[in-house]
């Protein structure tokens, strides 16, 4: 199969709706993971709404719920606590963003929907010894959060406030 056919096959696989790791796509199509990375980049450049996460690729879907961006602050050791709190209150964490003095806003997709996603994210960060994106901004970061409705979002925001995670609350526990 030529490159164009392979990219169409990648798109067909992503249209099935499940998140797929690059290594799985590479194996299914008989190419290297790096070829898949390039194919996904070309699909994105062509306007295909492919989302890349540490847990794989998928096609972006329109949010079904209520969205709000909340600015947070904490040290690395409280990352799991913050994410688990959001999930426990009915939120989904779409991304994390920080402000960089040279590059401006830098955003990474997280797509954390449940406790298993939180545990997987924390495990991978520890295993890779990767710094959090928020180290760029001294711990200040924002999350795009989705809930079923405004009431649930208010609960997430209040929970983060009480736990000392909201940046507006300068009584931050470190």
Tens digit of pLDDT for each residue in 60-87?
887 789 999 999 999 999 999 999 999 9
> 43 and 129: one domain?
no
Do 53 and 99 lie in a common domain?
no
Do 36 and 81 reside in the same domain of the chain? no
124 and 52 in a common domain? no
Same domain, 122 and 75: yes
Q: Which residue has the tokens 């997709």?
A: 109
Which of 71, 81, 99 has its CA nearest to residue 174?
81
For residue 47, the 8-state DSSP code is T
Q: Which domain holds residue 153?
A: 66-162
What confidence score (pLDDT) does residue 55 get?
A: 81
Mean pLDDT along residues 45-58:
88
Q: Which residues, including other chains, have CB under 8 Å from residue 130's CB and lie 6 or more apart? A: 124
Number of separate domains in the chain: 2
Please report whether residue 171 resides in a domain: no
CATH of the domain at 11: 1.10.10.10
CA distance 75 to 135: 9
Shared domain for 120 and 157, answered yes or no, is: yes
| C-alpha to C-alpha distance for 108 and 40, rounded to whole angstroms | 16
pLDDT confidence tier of residue 172, bands split at 50, 70 and 90: very low
Residue 174 lies in a domain: no
Same domain, 42 and 76: no
Within-domain flag for 36:
yes
Same domain, 140 and 111: yes
pTM: 0.78
Q: Tell me, yes or no, whether 172 lies in a domain.
A: no
47 within some domain: yes
**Are residues 106 and 30 located together in one domain of the fold?**
no
Cα separation, 154 vs 133, whole angstroms: 26
Domain contains 110: yes
SS3 for 50?
Answer: strand
Asked if 39 and 6 touch (Cβ cutoff 8 Å), the reply is: yes
Domain harbouring 157, CATH code: 3.30.1340.20
Nearest to 141 by CA among 170, 173, 117, 105: 105
Q: What is the pLDDT of residues 107-131, one digit of tens each?
A: 999 999 999 999 999 999 999 999 9
């Amino acid at each position: 199969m030529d490159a164009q056919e392979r990219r169409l096959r990648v798109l067909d696989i992503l249209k099935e709706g499940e998140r797929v790791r690059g290594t799985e796509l590479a194996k299914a199509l008989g190419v290297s993971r790096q070829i898949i990375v390039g194919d996904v980049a070309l699909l994105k450049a062509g306007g295909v709404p492919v989302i890349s996460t540490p847990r794989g690729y998928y096609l972006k879907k329109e949010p079904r719920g209520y969205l709000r961006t909340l600015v947070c602050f904490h040290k690395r050791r409280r990352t799991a606590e913050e994410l688990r709190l959001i999930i426990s209150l009915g939120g989904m964490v779409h991304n994390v963003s920080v402000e960089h003095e040279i590059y401006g806003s830098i955003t990474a997709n997280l797509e954390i929907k449940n406790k298993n996603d939180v545990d997987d994210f924390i495990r991978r960060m520890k295993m890779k010894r990767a710094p959090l994106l928020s180290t760029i901004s001294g711990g200040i970061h924002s999350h795009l959060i989705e809930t079923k409705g405004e009431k649930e979002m208010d609960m997430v925001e209040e929970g983060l406030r009480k736990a000392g995670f909201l940046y507006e609350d300068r009584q931050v526990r470190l």
